Amino acid sequence: MTLRELRRQLRAGRRAIPDAERRVHDRAIRASLSQLGVWQRGRRVAAFLSMPGEVDLRPCFDTAWQRGVRIYVPHIVSRRDGRMVFVPLEAGAAVRGNMFGIAEPLHGSRGRLPVRHLDTILVPLVGFDAQGHRLGMGAGFYDRALHPRLDRAQPFRRPRLIGVAYSIQQVDRLDPAPGTSLSTSSSPSAASSASLLTHPEVPNRMRYWLLKSEPDVFGIDDLAAAPRRTTGWEGVRNYQARNMLRDDFRKGDRAFFYHSSCAVPGVAGVVKVVREAYPDPTQFDATSEYYDAGSTHAAPRWFSVDVQLEKRIEPVITLPELREHAAGALREMLILKRGNRLSVTPLTAAEWHCIVALRPAVASSLATKSTASLRTRSKKS
């Protein structure tokens, strides 16, 4: 199926949602966005004025304005050049349809705000996959507006991108648009065959990872002996791995601690992300083997996250054990691909649960922790 055909199919599917059902899903999506802290006081949020079939965000705006949230919406500057900017939307502002029939403020591009100054960007989706890759309308306006400006922005000031869609719009896999990986917000499934969240009980869509470390440099024993069983994942000097640490890791994500370049390579434990990306201090330390003279505090090049040991895996789930599933649930697992040397790789939920199931005691322990966490959140809410 071509991308044009896929877009046509997905748009037809979302238009077919009955109006009464759509209103229920729209309310659920708006509630999810509120739970994610999108409309916090004083924030600068790029939203959108929906087209037919898209999620209606306008009921959120009045409350957001009352809280002092500044709302911006897309304005197409040039169709030929594919230029789009974000301009302010004030309460009661007059709007008109642009060349595509999308509502825009009458004042045009006056008051445009650079992308790097936004806190959150809500992106309308035609399609998406479980890794947060997006499919747009095909004209490339969001790709051009976001990608180059985000790359020039200081990495720790990058706005949060949240895709907004119905779960009926989820597809198996999309090729990522550079610089536009998303968090996703959706209602419960608009069709029984579709489900948005990779891990449904976690509202902000937990992700799963595999982190490699050589045990003679820093192994599972070192992590277990660290204060609070926590360490900064420092020393990553590959740009692709750096981008994942900086842009995609979220507090609460889980990862396998993988022993590499040793006698028995394999999964030695489960860790949890307890602090999101911050500049890796070793890049500024002239005595460190990871020192980078070209990196500055004003524009750091390398990033770390903090992880905490949740569970040792004993015995280690060895590489040969993983390869036994290379024709099945782990057929797309990157660590099993020839030539892959990344120290940080993403896992799908299916891959994660397949590996955890190889040690039933670990699976039971993690399930108990998840249930306890959910109960704690319920008591606080």
Residue 270 contacts residue 263 (beta carbons within 8 Å): no
- Please indicate, yes or no, if residue 194 is contained in any of the structural domains: no
| 167 in the same domain as 221 | no
CA distances, 222 to each of 227, 231, 312, 342 (Å):
10, 9, 12, 21
The residue-averaged pLDDT of 295-320 equals 94
| 221 in the same domain as 142 | no
**Boundary (domain end) residue, out of 154, 185, 216:** 185
Alpha-carbon distance of 269 to 257, in angstroms, equals 5
- Please indicate, yes or no, if residue 41 is contained in any of the structural domains: yes
Residue 84 sits in which domain range? 3-185
| 270 in the same domain as 173 | no
Is pLDDT of 277 > 90? yes
Kindly give, in sequence order, each residue whose CB lies less than 8 Å from that of residue 208, ignoring residues fewer than 6 positions away.
198, 253, 254, 255, 346, 347, 348, 349, 351, 352
- Please indicate, yes or no, if residue 55 is contained in any of the structural domains: yes
| 120 in the same domain as 28 | yes
| 165 in the same domain as 113 | yes
- Please indicate, yes or no, if residue 191 is contained in any of the structural domains: no
| 243 in the same domain as 346 | yes
| 156 in the same domain as 221 | no
pLDDT digit string (tens) for 74-87? 998 877 777 889 99
| 289 in the same domain as 230 | yes
- pLDDT score of 363: 64
pLDDT digit string (tens) for 361-374? 776 666 555 444 43
- pLDDT score of 25: 83
Alpha-carbon distance of 8 to 1, in angstroms, equals 11
- pLDDT score of 153: 46
- pLDDT score of 175: 65
Alpha-carbon distance of 120 to 335, in angstroms, equals 33
Of all residues in the chain, the percent with pLDDT exceeding 70 is 83
Provide the 3-class DSSP secondary structure of residue 150.
helix
122 φ/ψ sector (left φ>0, alpha ψ -120 to 50, else beta): beta
| 331 in the same domain as 250 | yes
- Please indicate, yes or no, if residue 201 is contained in any of the structural domains: no
Q: pTM for the whole thing? A: 0.49
Is pLDDT of 23 > 80? yes
- pLDDT score of 151: 44
| 237 in the same domain as 98 | no
pLDDT digit string (tens) for 213-230? 999 999 999 999 999 999
What DSSP designation does 130 have? T
pLDDT digit string (tens) for 104-119? 888 777 888 888 888 8
pLDDT mean across residues, the chain: 81
| 264 in the same domain as 180 | no
| Greatest distance between any 2 Cα atoms in the chain | 68
| 322 in the same domain as 213 | yes
Alpha-carbon distance of 268 to 262, in angstroms, equals 12
The domain that contains 264 carries what CATH number?
3.10.590.10
Residue 196 contacts residue 153 (beta carbons within 8 Å): no
pLDDT tier for residue 357 given thresholds of 50, 70 and 90:
confident
- Please indicate, yes or no, if residue 193 is contained in any of the structural domains: no
- Please indicate, yes or no, if residue 190 is contained in any of the structural domains: no
The domain that contains 126 carries what CATH number?
3.40.50.10420
**Boundary (domain end) residue, out of 153, 185, 217:** 185
Of all residues in the chain, the percent with pLDDT exceeding 90 is 37
- pLDDT score of 261: 93
Count of domains for the chain: 2
pLDDT tier for residue 355 given thresholds of 50, 70 and 90:
very high
- Please indicate, yes or no, if residue 192 is contained in any of the structural domains: no
